[in-house]
Structure 1
Amino acid sequence: MAIENRYDFVMLFDVENGNPNGDPDAGNSPRMDAETGHGYITDVCLKRKIRNYVELCKEGEEGYNILIKPDKALNTKFAEAYEKEGLKLKEKGKNTEDVEKARAFMCENYFDVRAFGAVMATGDNPCGIVRGPVQINFARSLSPINIQDVTITRQARTTEDRAETGSTEMGKKSVIPYALYRGEGYISAALAQKVTGLSEEDVELLWTAIVNMFENDHSAARGKMCMRKLYVFKHDSLLGNSPSHVLFDKIQVSLKDETMPPRKFTDYEITVDSEMPDGVTLISKI
């Protein structure tokens, strides 16, 4: 059964001595707003970590497959949907009813399609376009970031020719000493009921995935990343009881000492206005 309540949420997470989201246009160094110096992390990066966690804890369970992952071509998965539903395309044009049946199959069997939506209109077996009820904004750092290029050495050479020049070679990695990021998101109950069928069970899994999405994704490149806070605003109605920006403003984060660069989570102060508009409940998940 699809959800009946709209949700908005705020995530606060940090990175220590790592690169949370490399920018291919800048030599894979941390993404940064050139005008303000604040760091940012794309929605695609955050959703990737959620997908990875869901696949890790729900692998093999019916209805919790992940569409966007590097295992098969997407068109192959769309063809599988047609095969399992016993559908065929007309010789001329696309059979709208078959596309809708295939779309329903994809929503039922793939968690990320139910949550985030997908463009599945490619190939000979189109499954339509799904606008997902769960949307996440870019996360931005609360303070300007300081990107440091750290020189490293490698003792294993890749080719015999390079080995002849010496036993070691120099490399570089770009890191942020510390940054606290804020990300915001939305869950539309109207879209869940109209299109994907996102359920309360799916939403609870989403909260669990957000809380734990860095715990099984540690790497030397990303450093120490932690989800510090997850605030959820639950509305009593399908369309919501308050504009999202009014609720987001209830969570304020400020630097305690602006004369010093932040180096830990406790360098910030979080202020929460607990007086909610009628019909909205604030839930702290962590």
Structure 2
Amino acid sequence: MNNSELLFLYDAQLANPNGDPDDENRPRMDYQSRRNLVSDVRLKRYIRDYLQDAGHELYVAQPRQGEVVTADKRLQTVLGGKKPTVKDLPEILDQLMDIRLFGATMPIKGEGGGAGSSIQVTGPVQFTWGYSLNHVDLVNSYTISSRFSSQDEKNQGTFGKDYRVYYSLLTFAGVVSGKRAEISRLTESDLAWLDQALVEAIPLQTTRSKIGQFPRLYMRVEYVDDRTVLGDWRELLDLDEKENLRSTADVRLRVDRLVARITEARARIAAVHLWQHPDFRVWYGAESVRLADVIDSAAAGLVVPVETGLKAGSQ
């Protein structure tokens, strides 16, 4: 499998993209730069939940109601009830897509392994933490109440805080390692599911604090080999105005340097797997454009539209 690098943008309007449990669940922020932050774990959770809903077997899955699942029990279930050993690793990888994608540490005994031994598979797909391209303003907290009492002897309900951002244009970078893909048994079909999950998962996993979030742009640059890495594609995006953004309509995102990088590296790129929300435009020169049109003009034949509509259970 070839290396790929990923670029993913989504936005959040009057939502809490990733609450910090150590800070009253406020949106994660770099207050010095006024950037909104989202962890890679939060993004992987969206992907895993989407894949599980689509019928795929996962290692880190949402348990059924009332079910308590340990790592060892999960692997035993996959193996039909038997204790996992190192010889079972290929079968485990073939059955559990999230390990093929993201890797895992599993309680699997080796040939002479004793109690507590484990095996680690480093996932070929890794994401950075996401950050906002714009300077983000937080909504003043509102107190929310519950009709339920916090203790049996109390009659009044409980109160909490509701923290949100006005608008955040969030962007992630990621990589797919071709060499690690061989070890984890990652397939091209798995990558197609990853592409689809990134463009569909977030609106389908909406909760009260996450409503108002939509994917806007996804690009997976697939290289011609398993050695090429060109770097963080986010650094090639330029936002004209970073202050006081309140909706997608306020965004003027320039892709001139990104298109130039693709043109310069044309010989090292096998394909650009691309999806763009129909309501999201980017700017190239003085024009508002579809990114696929500009790339096709600069480097014809590279753009491959991201496939959607994959059926549940297909591998």
Alignment TM-score, normalising by the size of structure 2: 0.74
Alpha-carbon spacing, 1:82–1:202, altered in 2? closer, same or farther (3 Å): closer
Name 2:167's counterpart in structure 1: 178
Greater length-normalized contact order (CA 8 Å, ≥ 6 residues apart): 1
Alpha-carbon spacing, 1:129–1:33, altered in 2? closer, same or farther (3 Å): same
Q: Secondary structure in 1 aligned to 2:30?
A: coil
The 1-side partners of 2:152 and 2:70 are apart by 37
The 1-side partners of 2:161 and 2:234 are apart by 38
Alpha-carbon spacing, 1:21–1:43, altered in 2? closer, same or farther (3 Å): same
Are 1:244 and 2:231 matched, yes or no? yes
Q: Secondary structure in 1 aligned to 2:249?
A: helix
Name 1:91's counterpart in structure 2: none
- Which aligned pairs between 1:41-190 and structure 2 lie closer than 5 A? 41-57=38-54, 59=55, 64-71=56-63, 72-80=69-77, 98-99=85-86, 101-121=87-107, 124=115, 128-154=119-145, 156-158=147-149, 161-163=153-155, 170-190=159-179
Name 1:208's counterpart in structure 2: 196
The 1-side partners of 2:205 and 2:83 are apart by 39
Tell me the CA shift for residue 169 of structure 1: 6.1
Name 2:246's counterpart in structure 1: 263
The 1-side partners of 2:118 and 2:78 are apart by 8
- Residue identity in the other structure for 2:248: F
Corresponding residue to 1:232 among 220, 224, 245? 220
- Residue identity in the other structure for 1:37: R
The 1-side partners of 2:175 and 2:268 are apart by 17
- Which aligned pairs between 1:274-285 and structure 2 lie closer than 5 A? 274-277=262-265, 278-280=267-269, 281-285=271-275
Alpha-carbon spacing, 1:152–1:201, altered in 2? closer, same or farther (3 Å): same
Q: CA RMSD in A?
A: 2.4
Name 1:94's counterpart in structure 2: none
Are 1:27 and 2:24 matched, yes or no? yes
Q: Check whether the contact 1:143–1:180 (CA below 8 A) recurs between aligned residues.
A: yes
The 1-side partners of 2:25 and 2:41 are apart by 16
Alpha-carbon spacing, 1:225–1:48, altered in 2? closer, same or farther (3 Å): same
Q: Secondary structure in 1 aligned to 2:154?
A: helix
The 1-side partners of 2:220 and 2:249 are apart by 22
Name 1:13's counterpart in structure 2: 10
The 2-side partners of 1:160 and 1:126 are apart by 45
Q: Check whether the contact 2:76–2:83 (CA below 8 A) recurs between aligned residues.
A: no
Q: Check whether the contact 2:135–2:244 (CA below 8 A) recurs between aligned residues.
A: no
Q: Percent identity?
A: 21
Tell me the CA shift for residue 216 of structure 1: 1.1
Alignment TM-score, normalising by the size of structure 1: 0.81
Q: Check whether the contact 2:218–2:275 (CA below 8 A) recurs between aligned residues.
A: yes
| Larger displacement relative to structure 2 (43-52 or 104-113) | 104-113
Structure 2: state its 5+ residue gaps.
64-68, 110-114, 277-315
Q: Check whether the contact 2:103–2:123 (CA below 8 A) recurs between aligned residues.
A: yes
Aligned length: 258
Q: Secondary structure in 2 aligned to 1:213?
A: helix
Q: Check whether the contact 2:172–2:234 (CA below 8 A) recurs between aligned residues.
A: no
Alpha-carbon spacing, 1:114–1:192, altered in 2? closer, same or farther (3 Å): same
| Larger displacement relative to structure 2 (261-270 or 208-217) | 261-270
Q: Check whether the contact 1:150–1:175 (CA below 8 A) recurs between aligned residues.
A: yes
Q: Check whether the contact 1:152–1:172 (CA below 8 A) recurs between aligned residues.
A: yes
Corresponding residue to 2:36 among 31, 35, 39? 39
- Residue identity in the other structure for 2:176: I
Structure 1: state its 5+ residue gaps.
89-97
Q: Secondary structure in 2 aligned to 1:40?
A: strand
Deviation string for 1:122-160 (max 9, x for gaps)? 785856110110001100011232222432443623266
Are 1:218 and 2:206 matched, yes or no? yes
